[in-house]
Amino acid sequence: MTVDRRWRISLRVLALGYLALLLLVPVGLIFFRTFEHGVMGVWESITTPAAIHAFWLTIEVTAIAVPLNTLFGIVMAIALARGNWRGKGLVNALIDLPFAVSPVVIGLSLILVYGVNGWLGGALADAGIQVIFSVPGIVLATIFVSLPFVVREVTPVLREIGDEQEQAAATLGAGGWTTFRRITLPAIRWGVAYGVILSVARCIGEFGAVSVVSGKISGQTETLTLLVEKRFANFDLAGAYAASALLALIALGTLLAMTMIKPRREEGDA
Amino acid sequence: MSATAVTSAPPPSAAAPSAPAWRSSGALGLGIATLWLSIIVLLPLSAVVVRSLDGGLGAFWDAVSSRQAVAALRFTVLVSLATAAVNVVGGTLIAWVLVRDRFPGKKVVNALIDLPFALPTIVAGLTLLTLYGPRSPFGINIAFTQAAVLLALLFVTLPFVIRSVQPVLIELDREMEEAALSLGARNATIFRRIVLPNLVPAILSGAALAFARAVGEFGSIVLISGNIPFRTQVSSVYVFKLIESDAPTSAAAVATVLLLVSLAVLLGIRALGHWGARHDR
Amino acid sequence: MISVTGVTKRFGDYTALDDVSLEVPDGSLTALLGPSGSGKSTLLRIIGGLESPDAGRVVIHGEDQTSVAPQRRGIGFVFQHYAAFKHMTVRDNVAFGLTVRKRPKAEVAAKVDELLEIVGLAGYQKRYPSQLSGGQRQRMALARALAVEPKVLLLDEPFGALDAKVRADLREWLRKLHEEVHVTTLLVTHDQEEAMSIADQIAVMDHSRIEQVGTPRELYDRPETPFVMRFLGPVTQLGEALVRPHDIALSVDARPGSFEAQVARVVHLGFEVRAELVLGDGEEIAVQLTRGEADELEIAVGDIVHVRSTVLPRALAGGAAREPEPDALSA
């Protein structure tokens, strides 16, 4: 149907207006408010020891969670797309859970297992390992929330391209690992890349679950997102905006990466 | 995130012969992966359900049926339904404009739709508070109202319906619309009887995803809502309060209810995926 | 009658139709025949109102319809990939045009049943398109288009997506339907056999122009351009002229107007024999003989023989046509 001009313009205005009010104006405002009083203040704000620590902690946690989930994601994607095994449907459904469960519930669930009174917490404490209110807890929470991304991006790619190439490689004498390394992996690399980017964004942005398990100890278990909240609670608005601006910048960078890679992942092998 | 990734049931004809090469190492890999999934996700979530009964069924029921718990749950469900409803209309509209219309900067707008996926929820909450709170440059102050919660939820759920509808709209057979044209139908009729029915499954899946996300949302709400019990307190914040007041069993009880809601929605989305594909061949 | 005058259509830099004119007689089944990219589908869509021309006019039954919306042209359109409303039953599909016109339910139901009977889908009312075969879906699409009693029926490569056997069956069935229903029908196809076997009149198109219009017989016997000749049947080039293979005679000795050729291969195909020859300029041609003829000539691989046309050639490879003399040089 070719919509006539008046309708088309009105629809466009409505849609763009909604987006502007909900999306663009708020984000634009962060940057405005942040730099309202000059760049120097902002710089100082994000280079305080607490801020620097928060930044590196966030990076560290992400650097642990993402590779682990990527490995899991690739293995699971291959199993889901290529295999036929008992329980496949159930596992497939379970993988979606981190998308559907509230971050606070996730945090609570970790406390109930790894907290001092938790199922494993007591034994771990005896062994000298503290999970809750310590970095390992944050890592576990972050792994939980970012678990499904790589699987969900790679599985459809694997299904699309089929396994004929892998079969051909087998007939030509390639063993399992060689086939994986030289045939499968190159074919899924853009799907993996996209999944990784989504995971990274999720890890950096996680708030609710981490809020519950971390104890928010400044300079020790405070991530960037927790820092924003803390500063806000302490009426350090400028500081909160500064940290937010940093996070927003990272988010925009993520968005850029997503936009560039999105069209590639459908090709299977660019 | 591809909103469709969660909704797509595996295609019925996907015969998946396992390549003989990887069978043994593959099985090991799958075993480890499943173990990973169990430890990271299953174990903690089952702890929530099991330990909610730590104080017995009586305590469970008390925690779940307390006035505050009920009020929080009611508000959470209602505001999440409202979010889904607004997204159905707004999301479909935006998806339509992005697929069928042409204007300068469209690619940028399309990319920005994913911003709520990329932006940390706490930052989203802060910016909405800045814009529509006490220091609003527009003079609009809705902080600590139910409207504020709705606003925050609309922000974080923006991409779901849009990204669910877009691919279906792109794939839609234009010839169906041309056939309807040639048979005498006007645009409004074509949209109502041809386009919309084919979009309904995608719209509903997107709405279900939005609902599920809204029910559990925490970071974007926690600043702007004021968490006023019986007014603007959502279940996730209520659970948080219970945890902080060192009442983990009660928290687990309420959390179990939330989990059940999430599970129900997940199953509903899967069913929707099957239903939506019923006419495809 | 449909009258198209001076229609031109461009898509960006690409010219799909260049000053095209055509007349389609009332009640006829006319085929627009041509290779892909010739503009035939574009012309059909312009007649149907799904595209609008940059220049020219479309007159249907005496009324200028050039800028009239497709809903109001009284046409029926059938698409190559059926364009079935996949979310509706067969009955609702066929009834669609009638329900849009807000006809009473009883009338609609009766009409739908009647049409499904005509197209051989009686009893399929409650099925969905996904439960039908390709051929059935196309018949449903035809029923749907006919339901609103169009003045003109437009078919865009309607059998292109079907298997060869189904295609052949449906093509014959369409011709019979046309003889029963007698709606002016315009059919787009790239399949010359299809056009030749069912159309009253064929318009051959190439590169956004109409090359020639005529009955199948006219086009085959008296092609006006080399393109038309090549498109409608097998063609062999002897020197400057284009000849149909069955108009070539083989002789051992030279005759007036004959060309020398060497036998490369002799293939025995049951009753027929095909001799593959190489002309002096290296061109390879094939000549068909009966067994009797082949035995008489006693040709073998390596022999030098002579080939000539038994009719005066119609079209030169370079372009212009010549009037034939009805009496051919006999073998």
Task: Provide the pLDDT for residue C253.
Answer: 84
A171 CA to chain B: closest CA distance, Å? 10
Vertex B7 angle, CA B2 and B10, to 5°: 105
Task: Provide the pLDDT for residue B85.
Answer: 96
- CB pair distance less than 8 Å for A166 and B122: no
Collapsing DSSP states into helix, strand and coil, what is residue C11?
Answer: strand
Contacts of B205 (CB under 8 A, 6+ apart): B3, B4, B6, B7, B164, B269, B272, B273, B276
| Residues of chain B contacting residue C131, judged by C-beta atoms under 8 Å apart | 281
A160 CA to chain B: closest CA distance, Å? 10
Task: State how far the Cα of B254 lies from the Cα of A254, in Å rounded to an integer.
Answer: 35
Closest to C89 in 3D by CA, of C144, C135, C142, C166: C144
Task: Provide the pLDDT for residue B74.
Answer: 94
B168 CA to chain C: closest CA distance, Å? 14
Measured between CB atoms, does C50 come within 8 Å of chain B? Answer: yes
Categorize the per-residue pLDDT at C68 as very low, low, confident or very high, splitting at 50, 70 and 90. confident
- CB pair distance less than 8 Å for B40 and A93: no
Q: Which of residues 209-268 of A touch B (CB under 8 A)?
A: 211-212, 224-225, 228-229, 232, 240-241, 244, 247-248, 251-252, 254-256, 258-259
What residues pair up with C209 in beta bridges, in sequence order? C206
| Residues of chain B contacting residue A101, judged by C-beta atoms under 8 Å apart | 45, 216, 258-259, 262
Task: Provide the pLDDT for residue C315.
Answer: 55
Q: Which of residues 25-84 of A touch B (CB under 8 A)?
A: 25-27, 29-30, 33, 68, 72, 75-76, 78-84
- CB pair distance less than 8 Å for C145 and B182: yes
Task: State how far the Cα of B238 lies from the Cα of B76, in Å rounded to an integer.
Answer: 11
What residues pair up with C241 in beta bridges, in sequence order? C238, C316
Measured between CB atoms, does C145 come within 8 Å of chain B? Answer: yes
Task: State how far the Cα of C329 lies from the Cα of C309, in Å rounded to an integer.
Answer: 8
Task: Provide the pLDDT for residue B25.
Answer: 67
What's the ipTM?
0.88
B186 CA to chain C: closest CA distance, Å? 7
Task: State how far the Cα of C221 lies from the Cα of C106, in Å rounded to an integer.
Answer: 52
- Contact between A18 and B113 under an 8 Å Cβ cutoff? The reply is no
Q: Which of B174, B176, B182 to mutate to test the interface with C (most CBs of C within 10 A)?
A: B182
Amino acid (one-letter) located at C9: K
| Residues of chain B contacting residue C77, judged by C-beta atoms under 8 Å apart | 178-179, 182
| Residues of chain B contacting residue A65, judged by C-beta atoms under 8 Å apart | none
- Contact between C313 and C243 under an 8 Å Cβ cutoff? The reply is yes
pLDDT > 50? residue A126: yes
B209 CA to chain C: closest CA distance, Å? 24
Task: Provide the pLDDT for residue C174.
Answer: 92
Average pLDDT, chain C: 87
Q: Which of C83, C100, C130 sits opposite B184 (nearest CB)?
A: C100
Mean pLDDT of A3-21: 89
Task: State how far the Cα of B242 lies from the Cα of B231, in Å rounded to an integer.
Answer: 17
- Of all residues in chain C, the percent with pLDDT exceeding 70 is 94
Task: Provide the pLDDT for residue A229.
Answer: 92
Q: Which of C83, C144, C147 sits opposite B175 (nearest CB)?
A: C83
pLDDT > 90? residue A45: no
Collapsing DSSP states into helix, strand and coil, what is residue A87?
Answer: coil
Q: What are the structure tokens assigned to B178, written together?
A: 């041309």
Q: How many CB atoms lie within 10 A of CB A217?
A: 11
Strand pairing of C152-156 and C184-189?
parallel
Q: What are the structure tokens assigned to B151, written together?
A: 């606003």
For residue range A178-218, list pLDDT tens digits in order: 888 888 888 899 999 999 999 999 999 999 999 999 877 77
Task: State how far the Cα of B9 lies from the Cα of A84, in Å rounded to an integer.
Answer: 15
| Residues of chain B contacting residue C79, judged by C-beta atoms under 8 Å apart | 175, 178-179
Give the sheet arrangement for strand C241-243, strand by strand: C236-238, C241-243, C315-316
Max Cα–Cα distance, chain B, nearest Å:
69
B55 CA to chain A: closest CA distance, Å? 14
Element of type H or E holding B9:
none
- CB pair distance less than 8 Å for A170 and B19: yes
Q: Model-level pTM?
A: 0.81
Chains sharing 3 or more CB pairs under 8 A with chain B: A, C
Task: Provide the pLDDT for residue C239.
Answer: 76
Q: How many CB atoms lie within 10 A of CB C110?
A: 11
CA distance between the termini of chain A: 34
Task: Provide the pLDDT for residue A103.
Answer: 95
| Residues of chain C contacting residue B179, judged by C-beta atoms under 8 Å apart | 77, 79, 83, 85, 141, 144
Supply the DSSP symbol for C129: G
Question: Which class for B158: exposed (0-12), middle (13-18), buried (19 or more C-beta within 10 A)?
Answer: buried
Q: In C265-317, which ranges are continuous DSSP H helix? A: 291-297
Residue of C nearest to B194 (CA): C85
Measured between CB atoms, does A116 come within 8 Å of chain B? Answer: no
- CB pair distance less than 8 Å for C129 and B279: yes
Collapsing DSSP states into helix, strand and coil, what is residue C76?
Answer: strand
- Of all residues in chain A, the percent with pLDDT exceeding 90 is 47
pLDDT > 80? residue A225: yes
For residue range C85-108, list pLDDT tens digits in order: 988 899 999 999 898 888 899 999
Give C232-276 as a DSSP string.
HS--EEETTEEE-GGGEEEESS--TT-EEEEEEEEEEETTEEEEE
C42 CA to chain B: closest CA distance, Å? 14
- Higher-pLDDT residue of B273 and C45 is C45
Task: Provide the pLDDT for residue A268.
Answer: 46
Q: Which of A112, A150, A164, A180 to mutate to test the interface with B (most CBs of B within 10 A)?
A: A112
Considering only A254-268, B220-234, C223-237, which range has the smallest mean pLDDT?
A254-268
Strand pairing of C241-243 and C236-238?
antiparallel
Task: Provide the pLDDT for residue C331.
Answer: 40
Q: How many CB atoms lie within 10 A of CB C238?
A: 21
- Give a three-class secondary structure readout of B247-271: CHHHHHHHHHHHHHHHHHHHHHHHH
Task: State how far the Cα of B174 lies from the Cα of C90, in Å rounded to an integer.
Answer: 19
Task: Provide the pLDDT for residue A266.
Answer: 61
Residue of B nearest to A110 (CA): B44
Task: State how far the Cα of C327 lies from the Cα of C331, in Å rounded to an integer.
Answer: 12
pLDDT > 80? residue A37: no
What are the b/e assignments for B214-230, b being 16+ CB within 10 Å? bbbbbbbbbbbbbbeee
Task: Provide the pLDDT for residue C319.
Answer: 53
Mean pLDDT of C137-155: 92
Q: What are the structure tokens assigned to C300, written together?
A: 């073998």
- CB pair distance less than 8 Å for A258 and B96: no
B152 CA to chain C: closest CA distance, Å? 36
Chain A / chain B CB contacts < 8 angstroms: 304
- CB pair distance less than 8 Å for B181 and C71: yes
Task: Provide the pLDDT for residue B24.
Answer: 63
| Residues of chain B contacting residue A138, judged by C-beta atoms under 8 Å apart | none
What residues pair up with C23 in beta bridges, in sequence order? C3
- CB pair distance less than 8 Å for A15 and B115: no
Please list the rounded mean pLDDT of every run of 10 residues in chain B (281 residues): 44 43 70 93 94 91 93 95 96 95 91 92 90 82 89 95 94 91 90 93 92 94 87 93 91 94 87 81 63
Vertex A130 angle, CA A126 and A133, to 5°: 145
- CB pair distance less than 8 Å for C101 and B184: yes
- CB pair distance less than 8 Å for C96 and B186: no
| Residues of chain A contacting residue B190, judged by C-beta atoms under 8 Å apart | 1
Supply the DSSP symbol for C321: B
- Contact between A83 and B15 under an 8 Å Cβ cutoff? The reply is no
Backbone angles phi, psi at C87, to 5 degrees: -95, 0
- CB pair distance less than 8 Å for B26 and A4: no
Q: Which of B183, B192, B193, B196 to mutate to test the interface with C (most CBs of C within 10 A)?
A: B183
For residue range A48-62, list pLDDT tens digits in order: 999 999 999 999 999
Collapsing DSSP states into helix, strand and coil, what is residue C110?
Answer: helix
Closest to A83 in 3D by CA, of C218, C190, B30, B11: B30
